[in-house]
Each structure stands twice: as C-alpha cells, then as structure tokens.
Chains A and B, each alone.
Chain A
C-alpha cells in the first residue's frame, strides 16, 4: 500500500526584544548563568508580571506578514506544570484566545510546485530556563534562569504538508520572514528558532488522519527533513506489520539518525490552563495594527515579484536571491553599481554563494563587498576581462577582500582587444601549424577551434575570444585564395 504523510509544524521563534516578556531583564544570549534575572522572572513570592509592549508589536508584525487576523482582545493563560527550570510552576502563555489566528504562507519546495500552507494560530509566551546536567557532579543538576521569561511566539501550522520537502520549504520560508521582519535572529543552534513536527501517515487517497507523533529536538533544516523521513518509514513499517501508532512525543537523535519515544500522551501533563489573573486581557487597538502594517518591510514574496519584473530574473533566481533580506539587499547593491542585473544575479548566486557556502559563511560575512562585485561584473560587460578571466579575478578578491581593478592590474589580466596584437599571435600560430591549415583548406571547419585554442593559450586567455575567432577565420579563409 502506498502512504502519504500529513505534517504540521509548531515553530517557536524567540523575539529579538532587548528585555524579557514580563520584566526588564536583558535577553542577551550567552551571559554567565543567572546574571540576567530579577525577582520577577525568578518568580519570587509577591512578584507580578508587566507585559513588554515591544514583544506584542513584533508578534503583530508576524501576524500581518502571514496575512493573519490580529485579535483585538487576546488573553494570557497559565500553563501549569512542575519542572525545575520553570520558576513559577507555570508558564504564562496564550491558550484559548491567541493574539493571532488564520494565516497563510506561500512556500516553494525545491522539487515541487509552490504551495500555500495554513497557519492556525500564533500566540505569545515566555520561555523557561535551562537545566544543566553536566559538570556539577554525579546526579547533580544546576539551573540557569537567564532564558526564563524570554519572549517567544509559537507559530502553529495546519496539517497541510505532504512531504518532508514541503515541511522544510515551509520552515525556511518562516525563517526567512522572521529575519526579514527583524523580530528573531533565526539562530537554530542557540535555539532562538526551533521546531517540533507532528507527523502521521495515511493510505494515499484517504481523507482521514492517522495517529500522529510529535517529533522534538529538530535543530536544523536538515534534521527536520531527516527526522520526518525516518518517522514516515517507521510508522509505515509499524502499520505494515499490523501494529498501530501510539500518540506520543518522540525525540530526534541526529547522531543515530532515528526518533525514539520520549513519553506517551497518556502519561502527559494536564496543564490546567486558566486565564492569568495577574495580567489584564491584551487589547490591541486597530491603530496599533495599522501602525505595524505601515512599518512592515517588503517581504520575500513581494520582493521576488519585483526582482522578476524589475530585473527580468527567472522565478527560481528571484526566489533564491530573496531568501534573506541581507542577500536581497546585497544583490540590489550589486545592481545599483550599474552592473547588468542578470549577470549580477549569476555572479551573486553561483560564484559568491558557492564560495560562502563552502566556508560556512553568511552573506553578511562576505569578504567581497557588493560594490566590488558590481565592478567585476562591469569589467566583463565592458570587455576589460572575459567571463573566464573574471573567475581568476574573483579568487583574490574573495581571499584578500580587494577590488577587481587592483587584481586585474596586479596580475596583468586585462583582455587583449588590440587587433594587430591578436593578428600577430594568429599569424604565429598559423605559421607553426601547417598541417592543421591544410586540414582547414580541405574543408574540415572543426579545426578552427584548434587555432582559437592555441591563440588563447599563447595569450594566457587574455585575448578577446570573439575577436580571435573572427581573425582566425579571416586569415584562414584568405589562404583559400
């Protein structure tokens, strides 16, 4: 039997506010343990939360970016459970009445059709602390509460995805949007952008949902894809063996490349949600929504459309160049130097991104400035160098961070466009290769390439290839008499 997966994602994005959701403590990552805490985020007796309005503004922007509805009145609730790194014994979150509902997101899977994924809700909540189990002796757990109270949004999708690739495309798109909006740094290693996946499978064509499992600990795009793929196969095997799927939480083990059971839902907590009596209902006036709408940057979809019409790029190229705000901005600066848009797109995507990927660097860390890359493209256009030579120019630019003209000058890579200079080399080559000349005269046109190659070799590739072509042909044809 053929099965198809039904996948929904729950994404937690840490909002880039300076201070925490309910107190003034810093949200800076990596500080010494427990230095960024106060009585409020430690949940000390008598303390009360005060909502950070900046976090609300950021969450509203996210809602608008996915075409969702912003609820004029939402409610903070308490999610009660005991855990050592949860100081109050409850997490303040939103439950029945979340800030944002009913959104949608267009995604572009790498080997598939663009697709719209529904977003059920986006709600605000505070993060918990961290339990540290290593370095304190056998059986000792230490707790760092720096992260406690950090503002998060949880973005819950509809179970709309039908392949691991679709899930990854959705996740990448969300990732790109939070970064476009500058509301989350998107760092998956540090956990500021994290994802859980709900996965079930069902016989192809079936409308009913199968029993789902929740996959946790998916800390990279690759792991999302691997974990879902593994889980699909695991579930299929269970079903084919006549077993049934248990609804449970499973942990992805990236080293072993498998998911394993964490706890079943039956033994899971009853969170006893109820409206938090310490916080008034959150009222978001229409004016604030409009203000947020006005401050929205151009988002990836709009940018992609514009790149296609304004720069004449293909859909794929435009999509790649708009995956991040920084990359799109870089490309636009390359074009702004006056460089040809399509050529600039090629050089940005193929050469530059290729080199950066190899080094594991981000576009913001590019040693070649957009302006220098623009000049390089222009040197190809104005025939100072050929496209092939340009690659030789690119390398020192990347390695040393210097401008292309300096490289061309220093290494003498300027293209030879002087006709008499080229003619002299062509004569030389013809003189040295009588045999091949005879072949040409006998009608073997293919041998033309040999002469061009020899000329290019003698000029170190610097001769203008079009000119060489033309001159070789003229001279040989002249021999025909």
Chain B
C-alpha cells in the first residue's frame, strides 16, 4: 500500500484517517524485511519501538492532536546519535555503540510526531561517494542493484527510492545528501550551514557537515525540514533565526526568478546523457517563467581539492576520540599504550577513513599547515566570495548534481581520485555554507536517474523547495519507482 505514496500523501492520509500509522508503519517494516536484503540500505530496524510509536501517533490523531509529522514513518542515517538501537557510523569502531542521547534533529523529528523505523547504512563515518566503505557492506541502488546508490547517505537514498520508508535524514559534508539523492532518483536537501543543529551528528568535518531531509518529493522535504530546522543552544554554530514556513513557500510563482548556470559546470567530465537531462530541465524552468542565464564561479574548479584538505584536516581531529580508551572497539592485549592506540585504530577504521585521517594529519602538521590547510582556507573564502557575487545577480544557481549517473559497484573503488570527482558539483555549497537541493530530472541511457542541482543564497531553502516543487508539478520524473521494489 505504501509503495505509491509520498511522505506528504501519507501525512495527509493519516490526518484524514484514510489509514492508520500502525498500518503504514507495519507496511514499511514488512518491506524492509522483505526487500532490504537486496539493498543493504539499513543497518538496523526498530520494529517494536516503531510499532509502539505508531500506536501512540494513532491515539494522538484520534484525539485531534496531530503534530506536523504525526505517525509518518521515517529512517535516520546511522551517523545520527539515537538512544534507540546502536549508533554505528557504519564502522567497526562503533559496531556496538549505544548513544546515551538523541541528536537534536532526531529529537525534533520525534517531537513532530515522526515514527522511526530504523537506521540507514552509509559510508563509514560518512566518508565516501558510493556507499562502498561501510563496515556492514555496500548499499545497492534499487534502480540497478549492480550499481552504487551514491554516498555517503546512500542507505537513506536507496531506502527512500525503494519506498522502505517515507523519508529519511541524511547528512551532507561535500554532497552526501544530494549526490545519493541524484543517483537514487529522490529529492534531497542540504540546508544552509547552521540551519539544522549538528548536535548528535557524529562529526566528519565540523565546518562542512549539515543534516537534511531526503524524500520522494520537494514537498516532502519541506515538511521534514520544517521539523528539523531551528536554533539549538547545544550547537554554537547553529543560527538563531526564525524558521521559514517551508510547506507554505512551495507554491510561489517562478516568473521573474533568475537562474544562473555556471559555465564552469559543463566540462569534459560531465556525461552527455546527464548534460542532456539537465539542459532539458533548464528549458522546463524557462517554460515555468524563470530567466536562465550564464554566470561564472571562477574558483569552482578548486572546490574538490579545497574540500579534500579541509575535510580531512577536521576529520583527523574529530576521529581522534576513537582511541580504544572508552566506548569503542579496543584491540585485544595491546603491548603498551601506543600499541593500543595504533592497533585499535588500524583494526577499527576502514581504508578510506584511514586514508583521510592520514591526509588530514599531514596537512595540519608543522611545516605543511601553511601550504595546505591555510591555503585551502583562503581558497574557501574565494569560493564563498564567488557565491556572494553570483547571488547579487541571480536567485538560484543550477547544474547537474553528479557528473554521471550511478556507476557500478567496485568500478571506482580502487581509484580515490575518480571517486572524489563524484562530488565535483556539490562540495562548493558546503565550503560556502549555502543550501542546495537535488531532485530527479530524467534518466541516463542505462535507465538510471539523473539529478538536477539547485543552490540558493544563505537561508533561502524556501526558494530551493519552491523551485523544485514547481518543477515536480510540471514533470513526473520524481514519481518513478524502481521496478521490483
């Protein structure tokens, strides 16, 4: 029953008592049980807790006390701390870790009435663009299970695409929400840095990380973001600023809106079928009344190396706490303290995580700090300035989300550089802190989804959701569901 329904439709059906939360929650849990073995998109599901929450939601609905997401079944990326179940970060290091607290966004979605059916798989500690680095094995893309779902929120992307939950949280450090949204054919939004609290999000790169929603449609994301956003006293970098009415902003007219398309986006690495779909989407926007014009983001080509340096530097420090002393994996019978650290970390972290820790340690070390970290911070400022300049002229910046559609599992695993280029279009938004959204805009020659990427100025999530929603009203790409799921 839930296969054909969007999050918004479920939300509405629950309120109008077409069906109960018990029914939809049960349906999703059954789908997870039946279909997820083919995808590996969940690290765990919470049948008992979810059913109890669903019953409680049904009671509230019956009493006429429904909250914004009352009874809606969602999943959380397993990088977000939850008291329920384990918080694994898809790492051996935290295989059995139980968090004593909920992440703020987890708390807020619960306070809005959402029911949590489980936690989704990811690249280990959110490091990866293909979801192949999880300690629990790769996630498969429901559109073609021989291909990757994208990363690092690939579990959330695949689970939403296969309709194993109505929506899911993701976290985006360099494109980790938008890129898997594109590769899985769902809608994913990375909010402005500071719009959603990072408290309880296990840090990868603190100055870039931002949690956000993933769901079938922009309207769905609007409902989720409304519940997730807002100032949090526990996160000093969260911004104290009123939350916009995102669902209320969906319907606005696009005429008069200016969409900038950076010339720098259409380079050699961009797959022709992706380019075709994106250009067609731009035509669609012209039809919707927007003006599309070419702009320039001259420092965009430096986004990937800048991101690599800054994210690795922060990661090397953030992951130092996993040292075997307290709650993590600890090596058996170490020879001494140093051996305990080294063996614990060598056993507990996968190859990609170790690679980034080493890069980060190197770029922060005495003698290299100025050449790498400091330089990267300077380029970051330039990238931010480029955006500021661009947003004086345009309302939105558009382009492809990912240079290619989903690639084969194992295809790029041996080539980290090629893998890092998957985030070519998305990382700049994290470096600048501006919000971005990805939504389906067509299919590749191989029948895989292609994502359209829009970015807006700080705190203009309303514009992003509005533009994506208008596009989705005019097209039906977002309604396609992978066969067999």
Contacts and interface: CB of A to CB of B under 8 A. Distances in A.
Interface of A: 39, 42-51, 78, 80, 82, 84, 87-90, 143, 270, 272-274, 277-280
Interface string B149-169: 000000000000000000000
A48 B201 CA distance: 9
A48 B100 contact: no
Contact of B364 (A46, A48, A51, A272): A272
A136 to B, nearest CB: 15
Interface residues of B, number: 43
Q: Indicate the member of A45, A82, A87, A273 with the most B CB atoms within 10 Å.
A: A45
B27 to A, nearest CB: 31
Contacts of A274: 313, 317, 364, 369, 373
Contacts of A47: 199-200
A138 to B, nearest CB: 14
Nearest to B93: A45
B94 interface: yes
B337 A84 contact: yes
B46 interface: no
A272 B317 contact: yes
18 contacts: A39-B101, A45-B97, A46-B81, A46-B101, A46-B201, A47-B200, A48-B235, A49-B236, A50-B235, A82-B320, A82-B323, A84-B337, A88-B320, A89-B323, A272-B364, A272-B369, A280-B236, A280-B237
Interface string B284-325: 000000000000000000000000000001101101110101
B320 A80 contact: yes
Q: Indicate the member of A48, A90, A270 with the most B CB atoms within 10 Å.
A: A48
A89 B103 contact: no
Which secondary structure dominates chain B's binding surface? loop
Nearest to B325: A84
A62 B366 CA distance: 31
A278 B320 contact: no
Interface stretch (B202-210, B254-262, B392-400, B415-423): B202-210
A291 B198 CA distance: 33
Interface of B: 80-81, 87, 89, 94, 97, 99-101, 103, 198-203, 205-207, 233-237, 313-314, 316-317, 319-321, 323, 325-327, 337, 341, 361, 364-366, 369, 373
Contacts of A143: 325
A143 B373 CA distance: 34
Contacts of A89: 317, 319-321, 323
A50 B365 contact: no
B235 A88 contact: no
Contact of A45 (B87, B207, B337, B365): B87
Contacts of A88: 320-321
B236 A278 contact: yes
Contacts of A48: 198-199, 234-237
A45 B79 CA distance: 9
A283 to B, nearest CB: 12
A44 B365 contact: no
Contacts of A78: 317
B317 A46 contact: no
A43 B373 CA distance: 24
